[in-house]
Amino acid sequence: MALLYAELEKTGEAIELLKTAVEKMPGNIRVYYNLSLLYDAKQDQKNAEKTLVKSLEIDGNNKSLLYALAFHYSKYDQPEKAKKKLLKLVGLYPNNSQYASILQQLNSKGNFIKN
Question: Residue 94 above 50 pLDDT?
Answer: yes
The model carries a pTM of 0.87
59 and 29 Cβ atoms separated by less than 8 Å: yes
N residues, the chain: 115
C-alpha pair distances (Å), 6 with each of 36, 48, 82, 91: 12, 15, 27, 34
The band of 114, judged by pLDDT with boundaries at 50, 70 and 90, is: low
What does the pLDDT average to over 12-23? Answer: 97
Q: Give the pLDDT confidence score for residue 115 in this predicted structure.
A: 41
Please state, for a pLDDT cut of 90, what percent of the chain lies above it.
Answer: 89
Question: Residue 98 above 50 pLDDT?
Answer: yes
For the chain, which residues make up each domain, given as ranges? 1-59, 61-115
The second-level CATH assignment, the architecture, of 1-59 is Alpha Horseshoe (1.25)
Tens-digit pLDDT profile for residues 51-84: 999 999 999 999 999 999 999 999 999 999 999 9
Closest CA to 83 of 62, 61, 108: 108
